[in-house]
A and B are shown apart, each in its own frame.
Chain A
Amino acid sequence: MKCEICKAQEASVHLTQVMDGEVKKLHMCEDCARKGGINIENPVSISDLLLGLGKEEPVEEAPAAPDRACPVCHLRQADFRKTGRLGCPECYAAFATELAPLLRQMHRRDHHVGRTPGAVPGGVSPAEEAAAVQEALDRAVADERFEEAARLRDRLLALRQRIAAGSPAAPEAGP
């Protein structure tokens, strides 16, 4: 199979991914893949590629957005676009606006419901968690994602009960 980009070399990098229920395939030679910013051993997804994460020039609009940097590690948006990797945990807060649509596209959800560090030094208290769940719940209602909202409401109620009972930040019970 020939590379779909240069149509000259043999395609050896094959990206397959489902986006919005549609299977997208892209067959490229290594050179074109590298030019497209794909780290072959650890490729970014097609969605990253289409969103411009893997390329120097962003595909989205917002052309003249200032290149902000994370206040903690000083990673710039351009660095993130180039590598698809953030610089430090604080980058998630620094680039929250840019990351939100990306996360929704990658995971179809935008908040964590799994394990928490529990009663660890520096772990999250039920109150902190409740605040975050409340925030997610508000957003889910605003976006009319009612199924998710119902789940979040149940979780919030459970957390409030736990706060009322004064229990420590126990991780969520298993199935």
Chain B
Amino acid sequence: MNVGDLLRQPHLWACGAGEDGIAASSRVRLARNLRGHAFPDWAGEDENLRVWRTLEPVLRALPSMQGSVSAANEAMTDLDRQILVERHLSSREHARKGRGSGIVLRADERLAVMVNEEDHLRMQSLECGLRLHEVWERMEALDREFEERIACAFSPRLGYLTACPTNVGTGLRASVMLHVPGLVLMEEMAPAVNGIQKLGLAVRGLWGEGTEAVGNMFQISNQMTLGAREEDLVGDLDRLVREVIDHERNARARLMRSRETVVRDHVGRALGILGHAHVLTSNETLSHLSALRLGIELGIVERLDRATVDALLLLTQPAHIQRAAGRPLGPRERDEARARLVRERLGEPPRRRRVRKTKA
């Protein structure tokens, strides 16, 4: 099995689990570096290549990484690397790197290790729904296994040393992806983001750093990595996320009490467009899928389930669309292919083929 095969399977996110789907996924990542080696951006390609060749077999042999696949960056096509980014297994920065960087990931995508991104190792543990503690435990096990074999750059005072001082200490970034259309529709998300940031946490868009929130998806993560224990960083985020989820539930309930028709209209229009459009941009699709997801969760749309929507959230991304087409597509072709895919997946099932009118 190679990375290409792996990426043909349905994604972790489309698990449809997680009580009410407000928390879409939970993630913890650790930044680690090898002792006595320059960080990837400062080391030359040759040293990066040596590090990759050293780490790749070590990582694949770890008990936690049984059944893993790996690929050097230069052995992957641009499209494959982009697909990894869309599945949140790799970062945009890592996807841009060439020789000397690579990825090792478990076939179930729950654990992935980027080698020679900003740091020698960016290990991540990913799970759908709100399962931060579980995700952290899996991460910690992998970290321990790794440390038994390779000495990491560590200072007693500053902890794990990272290329960027923003990650030093624990090297830990925990994040939860939240779908909060209720708060957005009630215009309560801006003050919530404000409050969350005041607590020292970061709020980002769907694709992480430097991205705007699309499809009412927000990623909340810790900012500070130094001076707190890993369990506390994870626990603090977990508590905060649970509060945000409560606010979202509450916002949805109020929305249905005070503006039910508006919500039904919003959901219905989204379903109408998704089911019948012939050209759909990526952002338009995300925003309508968000409305549809809300409709399913509120019981407004009964014939579809959340897993279908979650699968589409991923499959309508540009690289996934091109993978499905089997060839590179221009933006316009992508928008058409996307609309076709969405129509197929969301269309009313028993339907007679329409008779095409012939031109007069």
Binary interface profile of B, 91-111, with partner A (CB < 8 Å = 1, else 0)?
Answer: 111001000000000000000
Q: Are A88 and B39 closer than 8 Å at their CB atoms?
A: yes
Structural contact, A122 and B151, CB atoms closer than 8 A: yes
- Measured between C-beta atoms, what is the minimum distance from B156 to chain A in Å? 4
Q: Is the CB of A107 within 8 A of B147?
A: no
The B interface is mostly helix, strand or loop, or mixed, namely: loop
Q: Is the CB of A106 within 8 A of B198?
A: no
Q: Which residue of A lies closest to B156 (CB)?
A: A132
Closest to A132 in B: B156
Contact among A18, A40, A48 for B197, CB-based, below 8 A: A18
- Bound state CA distance, A106 and B225, in angstroms? 9
Taking A17-B197, A42-B210 as contacts, is the C-beta distance between A109 and B42 under 8 angstroms? no
B194 on the A face (CB < 8 A):
yes
A31 contacts the other chain (CB 8 A):
no
A3 to chain B, nearest CB (A): 15
List B contacts of A78 (CB < 8 A). none
Would you give the shortest CB distance from A131 to chain B, in whole angstroms? 7
B158 within 8 A of A: yes
B165 at the interface (CB under 8 A from A): yes
A62 at the interface (CB under 8 A from B): no
Residue-wise interface mask of A (158-175) relative to B, using a CB-CB cutoff of 8 A (1 in contact, 0 not): 000000000000001011
Q: How far is the CA of A52 from the CA of B36 in the complex (A)?
A: 28
- Which residues on B are within 8 Å of A, measured CB to CB? 33, 35-39, 41-42, 91-93, 96, 118, 140, 143-144, 147-148, 151-161, 163-166, 168-170, 172, 193-194, 197-198, 200, 203, 209-210, 212, 223-231, 235
Instruction: Supply 7 further A-B pairs (C-beta < 8 A) apart from A102-B165, A107-B224.
Output: A42-B93, A89-B37, A103-B168, A107-B225, A107-B227, A110-B227, A132-B156
The 6 closest A-B pairs by CB, nearest first: A109-B227, A112-B159, A89-B153, A132-B156, A122-B151, A87-B42
Enumerate 12 A-B pairs (CB-CB under 8 Å) in ascending A order: A86-B42, A88-B42, A89-B153, A103-B168, A110-B227, A111-B157, A112-B159, A112-B226, A113-B227, A116-B156, A117-B151, A123-B147
